[in-house]
Structure 1
Amino acid sequence: MWITLVVVVLGAANALINWLAAGWYVPVCAAAAALLVLIARRDGLTWADLGLGAASVRRGLRWGLILAGAVLTVYLVGLAVPFTRDAFLDERAAGLSPGQLVYRVLVRVPLGTVLLEEIAFRGVLWAMVERRRGPMWATAVSSVLFGLWHVQPSRGLTRSNAAAEAVFGTGPAGVVLSVAAAVVGTALAGVLFCELRRRSDSLIPPVALHCALNSAGYTLAWAAGRWWGG
């Protein structure tokens, strides 16, 4: 019953942030994350079960700093190499004003996207399934749902990202293929996030990696659009 309720809350949150209340993105994400934690606690999970225990904070912070540094290094190399630079040319980032970029990087991503997705998929859902079926099932269920969570956000990928347009085109078939690729890609990323959470017993490493990927990605895409967007 509790896992079903979590999935229902996630479905409602997905509809709200993508269609019904997109302008309230951060408050909806924060409220949904808080509700999911309450559900998990009602299900008997401890803070440690959710990856939020005090004992794992120091280890989680060490992992998080290493992961964030690795992401930034890879991104900078990718931006410097002409062959991979097109992956950073994304109209969604390039069209942001400096103020919008700061809001996106420092508020929307960490307090909206990352907060909800990590609490939901690597915290609450992973812990619930792990207690009932073990870590392999927890990672599989969490990662599949994480991939499906990105169906709607990825529908405009071929229109906004130069690399995606070059690979898939902009026709209906290209949109379907790009969405499928995004779902598979985010599901595989979810496996990595789950493994980081399992090995560290903390949500801090996946949170740090997720924030670095999204926030640094927006920042460098914004810069690339101005320097090389043409």
Structure 2
Amino acid sequence: MSTAPETVAAIGIPLAWSNWVLPGLGLGVRGRTAANAGFATAYVVAFRGAPNWCSAKGFRYGAVSASLVAAGYGVALAIPSVRKRLHELDDRGPEVSSAEWIAVHIPIGTVYSEEMIFRTTLDPLLDNTFGSRLGSVLGALTFGLWHIHPARAAGDSVPVAIAATAAGGVALGWLRRRTGSVTAPALLHLAINAGGAIAPRLARLLGTARP
């Protein structure tokens, strides 16, 4: 069983990092990606996380989940009214090329970093301390709160961002608990974020069909 002080520290440290320390460093997107990946790796080592990347079950669940997300984006692009809304969305990686944003910063700066912190390390600590039901809620809430500063920096609604990412945290945490591996939530997380970056670009390439 994890101790309560260790678990409290495991909750507080990522929140301080994401919302105060990292923003205070004033780094560009490449620096933030490197810093986040380094922090996530150190966090896993410090709190003894076990990602279990080489999991056939994790890969299967992740591949199916990612395929469903990709299909959802495909349907969205096929509907003219939805494609028009995607067309109007702003790019979220303005400092770098689209290829670099999608191939480097999403998988490493976001997916690797967040999955190593939350699903690999924090969720198991919370489960061991509070049980899986309460641990799931606390893990998802912490994941939502991790996004306070990023939402402010992007000009998004903070309550909406917290609620949306917390809901995503529930699904990602379920996959980790179901498979015992971070591979499944990482593949789903990658599909959601990469798809969210690719779909608006595809919508602009395709143009908006007349209804």
- Shorter-chain TM-score bucket reads 0.7 to 0.9
Whether the aligned pair in 2 keeps the contact of 1:147 and 1:183 (CA below 8 Å) is yes
Alignment partner of 1:38 is 2:45: yes
More relative contact order, 1 or 2 (CA 8 Å, 6+ apart): 2
The 5-angstrom pairing of residues 108-187 of structure 1 reads 108-155=105-152, 178-187=157-166
Partner of 2:7: 3
Whether the aligned pair in 2 keeps the contact of 1:90 and 1:225 (CA below 8 Å) is no
Deviates more, 1:146-155 or 1:66-75: 146-155
**Alpha-carbon separation, structure 1, partners of 2:27 and 2:91:** 15
TM-aligned CA deviation for residue 88 of structure 1:
5.2
Percentage identity across paired residues of the two chains: 28
The 4+ residue runs of structure 1 with deviation greater than 3 A are 16-19, 225-229
Partner of 2:90: 91
Name structure 2 gaps, 5 residues minimum. none
Letter of the structure 2 residue corresponding to residue 146 of structure 1: F
Q: Secondary structure in 2 aligned to 1:125?
A: helix
TM-aligned CA deviation for residue 224 of structure 1:
2.3
**Alpha-carbon separation, structure 2, partners of 1:35 and 1:8:** 15
- C-alpha change, 1:154 and 1:82, in structure 2 (3 Å) is farther
Partner of 1:210: 189
Letter of the structure 1 residue corresponding to residue 178 of structure 2: R
- C-alpha change, 1:16 and 1:9, in structure 2 (3 Å) is same
Whether the aligned pair in 2 keeps the contact of 1:2 and 1:39 (CA below 8 Å) is no
The TM-score normalised by the length of structure 2 is 0.84
Whether the aligned pair in 2 keeps the contact of 1:139 and 1:191 (CA below 8 Å) is yes
TM-aligned CA deviation for residue 53 of structure 1:
6.4
TM-aligned CA deviation for residue 185 of structure 1:
1.2
Letter of the structure 1 residue corresponding to residue 88 of structure 2: L
**Alpha-carbon separation, structure 2, partners of 1:9 and 1:103:** 29
**Alpha-carbon separation, structure 2, partners of 1:28 and 1:116:** 9
Partner of 1:20: 25
Q: Secondary structure in 2 aligned to 1:2?
A: helix
The one-character-per-residue Cα deviations of 1:24-67 (angstroms, maximum 9, x if unpaired) are: 111111111111111222xxx6x3xxx4265xx11111111111
- C-alpha change, 1:207 and 1:151, in structure 2 (3 Å) is same
Partner of 2:70: 72
Q: Secondary structure in 1 aligned to 2:152?
A: coil
**Alpha-carbon separation, structure 1, partners of 2:133 and 2:56:** 26
Whether the aligned pair in 2 keeps the contact of 1:6 and 1:39 (CA below 8 Å) is no
